[in-house]
Amino acid sequence: MGFARYIPIAFLVAGLVLVQQVTQHTGTTFYLTQLTMAAYYALVITGLCLLMGYAGQISLGHAGFFAIGGYIPAALTTYNLEPLREKWLVQTLDAAGLLTAGQDLYGQQVLHVHPWPSCILALLLTAGLAFVIGMPVLKLKGHYLAMATLGFGTIVYRVFLAMPLFGEADGISAVPPFPLLPGVTVSGDFAARTENYYIAFGLLIVGLLFLINLVHSRIGRAFRAIHGSEEAANAMGINTPRLKLQAFVISAVFAALAGVFLTHYNGGIGPSEASVMKSIRYVAIVAVGGMASLWGVFFMGILLNFMSLRGMFGTYDDAVFGVILILIMLFAPNGLLRLHLWQRMRRWRGVDKPKSRTE
């Protein structure tokens, strides 16, 4: 393969620039808003693709990891530490340069944690949590694993819904922009849209490159061996528990990273981001994209989220993803882009029998 596997990336970059230029010249840059948001969701979904498509482990709790990534920075960067300024902890943090002081929209003096430390904390916390949860949970298989991760997702949802610190049912608003580097800021300002489009897709491409390299490496082959047959992989000397855990933690961190960025981009987060419907949506999109096809999952992630965020599914939004999941599982288990429709329909009508499988 060699460099050939990077050619699609070059095409992708060219395509992204083209989209941006076209919107610029037709005065339709507003499309970039939903594209940016879709890119962050696609980051969760490509991470989940590694876990589901390659390592063969399902997770119905990824909205939980996304929400942890979103809520921790949201809470830290909006919680006003000004009244606690005298406390030693606050003073230590301030001395370490981890806090930012300023005034809010209404002229009140505020002191918040800087987005960088809160971002790092959120990622570490997610990785740690994924590790602790993953260790026992990944011993389970199939339905049992799905149920355990579903349980985890529900717990996260309930915790965010119940804690006043996280704004309960209303979530957290007025999350400040994230000054990533000098001159590069993640923010939902109308003026910063093009910049944020490139930030989001830049992050997504870095994530993709990482995943592409990973799945083509020795570890990636081991993942696929586990997917094929865990027992056989074990017999070949692959440390299956450790590898499964690695895939789980990596995909959780991807979800959390998307959560951090999207929350700063949106300027807020609500409990709906942690809901089970979101987890199911992620799984559905991985399935549509073809499970073990990073590119398919990537494009479906962008496309379906883009359409959903533009309200194209109207009142049937959640239903659409449920139906998609069912249809894909029934008729195109390898994903929409690899659907050999005619062959399948002929087979359905019994014209030609499926090739005999050796099982």
Partner 1 sequence: MRRTMTSLLTAMLVFCVAAFVAPVGVKAATPKAETVKVGAILAVTGGASFLGGPEARTIQMLADELNATGGINGNKIELIIKDSAGDPEKAISFAKQLIEEEKVFAILGPSTSGETMKIKTICEQAKTILLSCAAAEVIVDPVAKYVFKTPQKDSDAVKKIYGEMKRQGISKIAVMSGNTGFGQAGKGQLTKMAPEFGITIVMEEVYDKTATDLSAVVAKMMSNKDIQAVVNWSIVPAQGILAKNMRQAGWKVPLFQSHGFGNIKYVEVGGAAAEGIIFPAGRLLVADVLPNDHPQKTVLLKYKNDYEAKFKEPASTFGGHGYDAFKILCRAIGQVGPDREKVRDAIENMKGFVGTGGVFNFTPADHNGLDIDAFAMLTVKDGKFVLYNH
Q: Is 192 in the site for partner 1 (CB under 8 A)?
A: no
Comparison of 56 and 271: residue with beta carbon closer to partner 1: 271
For 312, residues 6+ apart whose C-beta sits below 8 A from its C-beta are: none
Comparison of 145 and 294: residue with beta carbon closer to partner 1: 294
Q: Strand pairing partners for 103?
A: 109
Among 48, 52, 269, 292, binds partner 1 (CB under 8 A): 269
Comparison of 125 and 337: residue with beta carbon closer to partner 1: 337
Which span (4-12, 46-54, 145-153, 346-354) binds partner 1, by CB under 8 A? 4-12
Which long-range contacts (C-beta less than 8 Å, at least 24 apart) are formed by 228-237?
Answer: 228/56, 230/56, 230/141
For 140, residues 6+ apart whose C-beta sits below 8 A from its C-beta are: 148
Q: Strand pairing partners for 121?
A: none
Q: Is 323 in the site for partner 1 (CB under 8 A)?
A: no
* Tokens matching residue 34: 């939903």
Q: Is 153 in the site for partner 1 (CB under 8 A)?
A: no
Q: Is 4 in the site for partner 1 (CB under 8 A)?
A: yes
Alpha helices, H only, 163-217 = 193-215
Of residues 130, 112, 302, the one with CA closest to residue 208? 302
Q: Is 174 in the site for partner 1 (CB under 8 A)?
A: yes
* C-alpha to C-alpha distances, 244 to 44, 54, 239, nearest whole angstrom: 17, 10, 9
Q: Is 351 in the site for partner 1 (CB under 8 A)?
A: no
Count of residues that bind partner 1 according to CB under 8 A: 59
Q: Is 338 in the site for partner 1 (CB under 8 A)?
A: yes
Do the beta carbons of residue 264 and residue 73 sit within 8 Å?
yes
* Nearest distance, CB of residue 170 and partner 1, angstroms: 4
Comparison of 138 and 300: residue with beta carbon closer to partner 1: 300
* C-alpha to C-alpha distances, 303 to 36, 215, 297, 310, 346, nearest whole angstrom: 12, 23, 10, 11, 29
Among 293, 321, 324, 328, binds partner 1 (CB under 8 A): 293
Alpha helices, H only, 79-192 = 88-95, 115-137, 142-162
Comparison of 38 and 52: residue with beta carbon closer to partner 1: 38
Place of tokens 């260790």: 135
Q: Is 231 in the site for partner 1 (CB under 8 A)?
A: no
Which span (45-53, 227-235, 315-323, 351-359) binds partner 1, by CB under 8 A? 315-323
Comparison of 316 and 331: residue with beta carbon closer to partner 1: 316
Which segments within the chain are labelled E, that is strand? Answer: 99-103, 109-113, 172-173, 178-181, 184-186, 268-269
Q: Is 312 in the site for partner 1 (CB under 8 A)?
A: yes
Q: Is 188 in the site for partner 1 (CB under 8 A)?
A: yes
Comparison of 166 and 223: residue with beta carbon closer to partner 1: 166
For 358, residues 6+ apart whose C-beta sits below 8 A from its C-beta are: none
Site string for partner 1, 8-47 (x = CB under 8 A): x--xx--x---x--x-----x-xx-xx--x----------
Distance CA 1, CA 37 (A): 32
Q: Is 335 helix (H, G, I), strand (E, B) or coil?
A: coil
Do the beta carbons of residue 36 and residue 187 sit within 8 Å?
no
Site string for partner 1, 66-105 (x = CB under 8 A): ---------------------------------------x
* Nearest distance, CB of residue 216 and partner 1, angstroms: 12
For 314, residues 6+ apart whose C-beta sits below 8 A from its C-beta are: none
Q: Is 198 in the site for partner 1 (CB under 8 A)?
A: no
Q: Which residues bind partner 1 (CB under 8 A)?
A: 1, 4-5, 7-8, 11-12, 15, 19, 22, 28, 30-31, 33-34, 37, 105-106, 161-162, 167-171, 173-174, 188-190, 262, 266-270, 272-273, 290, 293, 295-296, 299-300, 302-303, 306-312, 314-315, 317-318, 337-338
